[in-house]
Amino acid sequence: MTETSLYVIQQLINGLTIGSTYALIAIGYTMVYGIIGMINFAHGEIYMIGSYISFIVIAGLLGMGFISLPVILIVALIVAVVIASTYGWTIERVAYRPLRGSNRLIPLISAIGMSIFLQNYVALSQSSRDVALPPQITGGWTFGDPSVFEVSFSYMQLLIWSATLLVMVLLTLFISRSRMGRACRACSEDLGMTNLLGIDTNRIIALTFIVGAALAAIAGLLLGLYYGVVNPYIGFIAGLKAFTAAVLGGIGSIPGAMLGGLILGVTEAMTSAFFPSEYKDVVSFGLLVLILLFRPSGILGKPEVEKV
């Protein structure tokens, strides 16, 4: 194989890795939008908080002398998911629910305020500088001709791929089979009708915030381990990327968020393969503008029916 094609394969692997985490975060945007027609701009901050909690737990357990990595990761996962979900639930309860039924812009402004608040709250309580964690999962496979170009696929990337795949399968089962998951779909089709069936839709809405936050926290753990650093501002850009992914796939559609995340990740990786890597954000957000202009319903979304 030529150097270029090996390089493209490498970028594809990297792109799918980042793209899976975009997809995890994007699901939170898409589920909430699907039900209450609102963009939860504080969702990126939930991801950031998930990342911080994971770091604190991992560093803490290492400091206490734990050495079993799987145990450390599972504990970090559980703690991060529980705490991030609590944040997600609380934000909905205090900042969005009281505003429901008012003009659409008002919860949006509240969400932006919540996002700024969380960034500063973490910056003040944790310092605003980068926090680093030494790589926990090292090694991987390499293939290709070392004299031409060596493609590497790390264990960390494998973990991200498989964790994302597992989460997506579980989420799909939940949404299609479980009683509450079906109620989520009913709510996103017709919230008022779901209420008219005696279903407590406030609880279903709270549930979508919890599920979305849990997925963002998982992304926070995975990307935290992958990059090895966090700071209070990582939620902003990751949130925008995931939002772009959700719009690209069709906001409101869960398979769309999965697909959109992967496409966006690969697009970015390919862009940085052939252009200076600063261009990848330009391409991402350029893509967002293009979709909004020419196909606002995204790849898998239904054309917008005005929510009443």
Partner 1 sequence: MLRIDNVNTHYGPIQALHDVSVEVKQGEIVTLIGANGAGKTTLMMTICGDPQATSGTITFDGEQISGIPTNKIMQKGLAIVPEGRRVFGGMTVEENLSMGGYFRDKAEAAETIEHVLELFPRLRERYSQRAGTMSGGEQQMLAIGRAMMSKPRMILLDEPSLGLAPIIIQQIFDIIQKLRDEGVTIFLVEQNANQALRIADRGYVLEHGHVVLEGSGADLLVNEDVQKAYLGG
| Shortest distance in whole angstroms from residue 191 CB to partner 1 | 11
DSSP H or E stretch at residue 154: strand 151-154
Query: For partner 1, which is the closer residue by CB, 197 or 292?
Result: 197
Taking the C-alpha atoms of residue 204 and residue 38, their distance in angstroms, rounded to an integer, is: 15
Return phi, psi of residue 230, to 5°.
-135, 155
Query: For partner 1, which is the closer residue by CB, 199 or 240?
Result: 199
What the block records as the tokens of 296 is 């606002």
Specify the long-range contacts of residues 283-290, CB closer than 8 Å, at least 24 apart: 284/241, 284/244, 285/240, 285/244, 287/244, 287/248, 288/243, 288/244, 288/247, 288/248
| Shortest distance in whole angstroms from residue 195 CB to partner 1 | 5
| Shortest distance in whole angstroms from residue 199 CB to partner 1 | 5
Query: For partner 1, which is the closer residue by CB, 146 or 192?
Result: 192
| Shortest distance in whole angstroms from residue 154 CB to partner 1 | 39
Taking the C-alpha atoms of residue 118 and residue 50, their distance in angstroms, rounded to an integer, is: 12
Query: For partner 1, which is the closer residue by CB, 10 or 194?
Result: 194
Pairing relation of β-strands 151-154 and 229-230?
Answer: unpaired
Q: At what angle do helices 201-227 and 3-36 cross, to 10 degrees?
A: 160
| Shortest distance in whole angstroms from residue 28 CB to partner 1 | 21
Query: For partner 1, which is the closer residue by CB, 129 or 182?
Result: 182
Q: Which residues bind partner 1 (CB under 8 A)?
A: 179, 182-183, 185-186, 189-190, 192-201
